[in-house]
Structure 1
Amino acid sequence: MSHYKGFLYKWTNYLKGYQKRWFVLQNGLLSYYRNQAEMAHTCRGTINLANAVIHTEDSCTFVISNGGAQSFYLKAVSEVERQKWLTALELAKSEAIRIQEVESDEEEPQPDKNELQKSLRTLNSKLEDLNTCNDLIAKHGSALQKTLSELEQLESPTDAHNKVKAVNERATLFRITSNAMINACSEFYDLAQTNGRRWQRMLQHEHDQRLKLEEMVEQLAKDQVSLENKARKSLHGGNNNHNSGSNPSDDEDFFDALDHQVEDEFKVALPPKPEKLHRRTDSDFSMESFTNEVSSESESEIPISEACVFTAKTNSPKRNQDKLKVRQLTSESLNASGETSNKRVRRKKIPDRPNYSLNLWSIMKNCIGKELSKIPMPVNFSEPLSMLQRITEEFEYADCLHKAAKCDDSAEQLAWVAAFTISAFSTTLQRTGKPFNPLLGETYECDRTDDLGWRNIAEQVSHHPPALAMHTEGKGWTCWQEFTMTSKFRGKYLQIIPLGIAHLVFHKSGNHYTWRKVTTTVHNIIVGKLWVDNHGEMDITNHKNGDKCHLKYSAYSYFSRETPRKVTGVITDITNKPRWVLTGTWDNQMEGAQILHVEESNKGKPVFETGPHKVMWKCRPLPPGADKCYNFTQLAIELNEPEDGVAPTDSRLRPDQRLMEEGKWDESNNCKLLIEEKQRATRRKREQEAEKAANEGRDFPQYQATWFKKDKDPITGNLIHQFNGKYWDCKAKQNWSDCPHIFL
């Protein structure tokens, strides 16, 4: 809107009155012409909006004045048209003022390093003066106080007269030292204020130079990819044309598409201070956040260069039933004493991640500005877990909920719940792969009642929009949620806003808690070290008694002195009285303390007097060799472990995911192509049946999840998928007749 053009009526004189003129608003300047043809040769007048004043007179007229030297009296054809012009003019004025300030700053020379060092030495000298004055004030103040105390204890008037003289002398010294302190503070303040703007400009200059370097490296990487492709085509173009009778894009169909469901826990740590920039390769690129499959053939796929194409075999990969329907590890094993135990022995490791190179630029160059559903990604950016398993991994620290279930104090219970919600982000620190995107109807069960005290069932209940439902039962508590999200990919960063509300109920107290996850941003998607930040505010509410925990995830800033990944929170009761305080980071640990007393500081902010702090949650270290195994935690290693008796739709039975875990990535890509094509065929068939039913005037039933049903959420009033309670009974009977056949 800062660039605008159109006809307005301009006041000329008392004889002609208002005359129709063509006005053009551009670059902070408002110019006018008699007509549009005059724009090529004659400008009748121009006014700079940076120093102009804009005010209105009635519903259609307004005046633009430039310090009295020049004024435009204008009239629009309607009030609506006048408002459009006023909006454009105000925006253009703000932009002109900003440009003027920037140009003014640029005219001033940048301070060199010698000048900066000199200023720092001067500041250091002033600081030493302040320290000296401080020491003198403390010394003279103590002496004055001592003399006054002695004066109070005297009884003889003669001695009192001598002491009063000593008091006057010490008071004079104290006043002189105080004045020196005030003068030193004033000099230090003036010097810091004088140089502060220049230092800030210098820092901003360095920051801008860094951004320019990033853009240069990005362009160099693009040019290199282009040259590689041209060289490859010139060397092998003839052979490819003779040997290939199909469209090259036929070999690219195995790619995933990314939909709106992008997990809010990304698997990369925040970076240290910027290091040497480098071109992105497969080994340092993380797309763990991208989580949804292509679901229809109508969705566009991004062409990729030959450098990153996997050959898609036309024949279906042979299915090894012994590997795909794997056996559960023996439930009876010898313990250290030689006796048998019913406790299952879990695996400690998975096969190392193979080193497959991939040209990232060939995939990313056409992704900028597109929805995630339009961005296809190969298996190389995945980890051998499904999104259903990844969301289950949030219960790694479910012991926080076990402790919360034993609390009689609702505020303390809420503190444990808050620690649990924060722990869900801890696994986002070092993971470098995205989960497999669940197929519609895919499920995952995790029964860890024997050792961890909880069991979980999750199902992909919708594909457009993508959503999964989850139900978890623990020792004295039940948790459920429907997880979906919205996201945008903007090239350099990806921002994810989770949707859906998580519910948690404790059986003993009846306390019902809800919360919504915070926003996640992935930075340096294309150039530089990839890093993730979880930021925003989260409210955890107890709907039984009104307790609330307000958590703040501080956004990372390059210029901030705040602790990276910092989280703070305060728990209040229904009367808004603070009860507990929480502090820590989402990647390491959280501490909590009960608030004993609240006072108000001079700045109007509350000051909490707390009891002893205690650790509410602490992140466990990764197992040995985790860097070679996708940086999985011990629980993540166990999630995809083969198990008998699960539903035929369970993620552990996905052949493409199992092949990837075994390091057979080419076979996994080919298998994924077949599974994906089967899913599309099923969807096309359903759409055709729905269209036929509509033409015949009859209703066609919507897709129904197997283990979840749509019901009204008592808290929000929205329809959500809630557990129907049938899964564990069907597992006990091994009755899987209601499960769809979604795998090969």
Structure 2
Amino acid sequence: MEGLLCKWTNVMKGWQYRWFILDDNAGLLSYYTSKDKMKRGARRGCVRLRDAIIGIDDEDDSTFTITVDQKVFHFQAKDAEERKEWASALEDTILRHSQRQVEPCFTPSLEEFDHKLAEADAYLQLLIEHVRAIESKVGKLGSSSDKQNLEGILSSGQEMIEAVTKSIMLLQLAKTAVTSNSPQHNIHSHLVQQTPVAPVTAPHATTTEGGDNVGGVKSFVELEDVPPTSYSSSEDEGDEFYDADEDVRSQRSNRSKSSVENRSVEQKTATTPSVDQDPVDDLAEVKPEAQEINVAAPTHQHGGESVEEHKSVIMHLLSQVKLGMDLTKVVLPTFILERRSLLEMYADFFAHPDLFLEVADKETAEARMVACLRFYLSTFAAGRNSSVAKKPYNPILGESFQCIYDLSSQATDGENPTTVTDGPIPWAKSNQLSFFSEQVSHHPPVSAFYAEHKDKRMQFNGHIWTKSKFLGLSIGVHNIGQGCLRLLDREEEYIINFPNGYGRSILTIPWVELGGDCTITCEKTGYNSFIKFHTKPFYGGKPHRITAEIFAPNEKKAFCTIDGEWNDHMYIKYTSGRNESFIDTKRKKKTQKTVRKIELQDEMESRRLWEKVTINLKRNNIDEATDGKRFLEDRQRQEAKQRLESGTVYKPKLFQEDDCQNWIYNNPLTNRL
């Protein structure tokens, strides 16, 4: 258990915030002036809990004391509930370590075992970051003795990372075996049966420029024996504790906001029925004159899905890969797949077509950049069908996906729409947003996509090369490429790039987060936006946060900022002081896309191509789904082999690569008007 408490220091300073960590195994309550000091191992003091006594005052619902080693330590919680939590945890630890305890030894529970594994993984990620910092520094050095020394440290660090990763995997396997075979869940008895992994240590412990340890990783409680007596260092005058103070204010603010949101959600849940639809089911047909078309209902994958039942397969897979390894050519197990192709996921990015069209409707360059950013930030939540991280199908070379978004309710200038026979989708109307995507390359895997709305005279051309890497107990996907939104009447182009994606907690309930810096630039108007997708901090903090700024031409100070979560509510604040809601992606309803029936689709269209896999995944027939997936992949390899033997170069159907390695649609709207 860990968190913030106030500790009485002395008459001069009074109550001060401290960060406390209760180590149940060591029987020790350690505290630090801040979380940053905790990471550095700068312990401020500690309280031995063996034979300690907890005291509370009925007239005060937040303070309590610990009496031990002829000392009395005074603490203050936020409220009675928080004090009760700490007091209960402290009493359990005291009982376990006191002389009154009759058990000869302590066996940790599975929950505590999971906590320690999570702690080990967190420190593994820190170690990876430090090693990467050394790699970056080595790359900048010329041939010198410093470079040779750093290369030796780097080699040791990489070996340590690999050893720690495999150790964590073996511990996970031990836990899996215990939970499936032993009703008592005795961790110790099973761990001793595992093959030990020899620890790999660096010959010399070193530090980076920031003073962080690279040669080894410390535990939350410093790697030293439990002190013979409790102590406190509150007499020092130079310590800072602003970090802890800020944390408690943030926690109180978040708890207050969370309680309001929870009440709102509870009221909404009580009146809103639960709906679970899937595009594999029978779909509602559209107008009689378009009987060959189906409206694709939103795909709602079940949230909270766990990979526990398939953990042994994942553990075996992870044992075969190394940190930083490119996963492009790694065949992933079928059960982690989402029931749609990556090409269809890109189509779902346009599930708010009204925001896309709004960009062209704005009269000023400033308003158009704001509208473009709003559309951009709406796409990521629209493209995710579930909070659980599942991987879309890797598109087969030559595979395509096409759909339309019907916006007939937003008629343009009262004119009757015409059929755009020369567009990417010959059956689309001029007042509909048409979308077409194609897998144009297999190695590297590149997807190109194009969307247009003829009546609004606007188009979007983009391509993404997905590059996946193994990062220990998570997977990183770098989205390399860009998009170009063009407004034909104004001759404006908005160049956009994309954030990286991360699949976290791949051994429990995987979840997705985005990270990285992105930009939107318009060369003609001079306006530009800077967007930062924040990954969840190592300690505390919210996931899915974004911050953004919009700059006027030749200005160094943003005229507005955006803050919030990309999968929830975002707010905009202008320098004039005006604040307002920017977009609520959780509440904004998606527009259903319209797709042809599978029997009318071409052989290489996504839904027809992956039909067998999709149906069997829905029915949980994993073996049959795997067979269907393997058939497509083997056929693709055979076709690639035949092209290699004949010297044939694959040529995409509707896209071509330009001199800047951008994939451009062959017949865009700009060429047809």
Normalising by structure 2, what TM-score? 0.52
Determine if contact 1:419/1:617 at 8 Å carries over to the other structure: no
Per-residue Cα deviation, 1:303-324 (whole angstroms, up to 9, x for no partner)? xxxxxxxxxxxxxxxxxxxxxx
Aligned counterpart, 1:503: 484
Gap regions ≥5 residues in structure 1: 1-100, 125-205, 232-271, 274-324, 334-339, 596-607, 623-632, 691-700, 713-717, 730-744
Aligned-partner residue type, residue 704 of structure 1: K
Q: Distance in 2 between matches of 1:525 and 1:669?
A: 20
Q: 1:367 aligned to 299, 316, 321, which one?
A: 321
In structure 2, C-alpha distance between the alignment counterparts of 1:355 and 1:550, rounded to whole Å: 36
| Ranges in structure 2 where 5+ consecutive residues have no aligned partner | 1-37, 55-64, 80-113, 123-163, 183-253, 256-279, 410-431
Cα distance in 2, alignment partners of residues 394 and 673 from structure 1 = 28
Q: Could you tell me how far 1:560 is from its partner in structure 2?
A: 4.2
Distance apart, 1:405 and its partner CA: 1.1
User: Match for residue 495 of structure 2?
Assistant: 514
Structure 1 residue 105: deviation in Å? Answer: 4.5
Deviates more, 1:358-367 or 1:499-508: 358-367
Closer/same/farther in 2, CA of residues 342 and 459 from structure 1, 3 Å limit: closer
Q: What residue number does 1:609 align with? A: 576
SS at match of 1:498: strand
**Distance of aligned partners of 1:107 and 1:366 in 2 relative to their CA distance in 1, 3 Å threshold:** farther
The structure with the greater share of residues assigned to helix is: 1
Distance in 2 between residues matched to 1:419 and 1:521, nearest whole Å: 23
2:656 is the alignment partner of 1:709: yes
Q: How many residues align?
A: 409
Distance 1:591 1:476, change over 3 A: farther
SS in 1 for 2:650: coil
Which structure has more relative contact order (CA 8 Å, sep 6+)? It is: 1
1:223 to 174, 177, 181: 174
Match runs of 1:487-498 below 5 Å: 487-498=468-479
Q: Look up the SS of the partner of 1:373 in the other structure.
A: coil
Report if aligned partners of 1:547, 1:573 keep a CA contact under 8 Å in 2.
Answer: yes
Q: Measure the CA separation in 2 of the matches of 1:349 and 1:511.
A: 33
Q: Structure 2 counterpart of 1:417, which letter?
A: C
Once residues 529 and 102 of structure 1 are traced to their aligned partners in structure 2, the CA distance between those partners, rounded to angstroms, is 27
Equivalent residue, structure 2, for 1:534? 514
Letter in 2 for 1:346: V
Query: Structure 1: how far apart are the matches of 2:534 and 2:301?
Result: 35
Cross-structure match for 1:464: 443
Q: Given the alignment of the two structures, is residue 669 of structure 1 paired with residue 626 of structure 2, yes or no? A: yes
Percent of residue pairs bearing the same amino acid type: 17
Give, in angstroms, the shift of residue 669 of structure 1.
2.0
1:213 and 1:710 map into 2 onto residues whose CA distance is 42
Q: How many Å separate the matches in 1 of 2:78 and 2:376?
A: 46
230 and 488 in structure 1: CA distance in 2 versus 1, 3 angstrom threshold = same
The structure-2 alpha-carbon separation of the partners of 1:685 and 1:546, relative to structure 1 and needing over 3 Å to count, comes to: same
SS in 1 for 2:374: helix
Partner of 2:358: 403
Does the 8 Å contact 1:351/1:661 carry over to 2? no
Moved more, 114-123 or 437-446: 114-123
Distance in structure 1 (CA, Å) of the matches to 2:642 and 2:629 = 20
**Residue aligning to 2:344:** 389
Alignment of 1:454 with 2:408, yes or no, is no
Work out the CA distance in 2 between the residues paired with 1:568 and 1:403.
22
Describe the shift of the 1:342–1:401 C-alpha distance in structure 2 as closer, same or farther (beyond 3 A): same
Residue 213 of structure 1 and its aligned partner are, at CA, apart by 9.2
* CA-CA distance at 1:571 after TM superposition: 1.2
**Cross-structure match for 2:370:** 415
* Residue 660 (structure 1) aligns with: 616
1:112-145 Cα shifts (integer Å, max 9, x gaps): 6946994544999xxxxxxxxxxxxxxxxxxxxx
Cα displacement string for residues 503-526 of structure 1 (whole angstroms, at most 9, x for unaligned residues): 111123222111211233333233
Residues 241-390 of structure 1: pairs in structure 2 closer than 5 A? 331-332=286-287, 346=295, 348=297, 357-358=309-310, 359=312, 360-369=314-323, 370-390=325-345
Secondary structure of the structure 2 residue equivalent to 1:492? coil
Q: Does 1:551 align with 2:498?
A: no
Q: CA deviation at 1:345?
A: 6.5
1:645 & 1:725 partners in 2: Cα distance?
Answer: 24
Distance (whole Å) between structure 2 residues aligned to residue 341 and residue 719 of structure 1: 38
Checking the alignment, whether the CA contact within 8 Å between 1:222 and 1:361 is kept in structure 2 is: yes
Secondary structure of residue in 2 paired with 1:656: helix
SS at match of 1:549: strand
- TM-score (structure 1 length as normaliser): 0.48
Q: Could you say if the C-alpha distance between residues 329 and 584 of structure 1 is closer, same or farther in structure 2, counting changes exceeding 3 Å?
A: closer
Give the one of 538, 545, 560 matched to 1:580.
560
Partner amino acid for 1:669?
T
State the one-letter code of the partner of 1:363: L
Cα deviation 1:23-58 (Å, max 9, x = unaligned): xxxxxxxxxxxxxxxxxxxxxxxxxxxxxxxxxxxx
Counterpart in the other structure of 2:230: none
Deviation for aligned residue 1:616? 3.9
The amino acid that maps onto 2:585 is K
SS in structure 1 of the partner of residue 641 of structure 2:
helix
CA distance in 1 between partners of 2:403 and 2:298 (Å): 18
Structure 1's 403 and 211: CA in aligned 2 closer, same or farther, altered over 3 A? same
1:486 touches 1:499 (CA, 8 Å); kept in 2? yes
The DSSP-based 3-state class of the residue aligned with 1:377 is coil
Distance 2:281 2:564 in 1: 42
3-state DSSP of counterpart to 1:411: helix
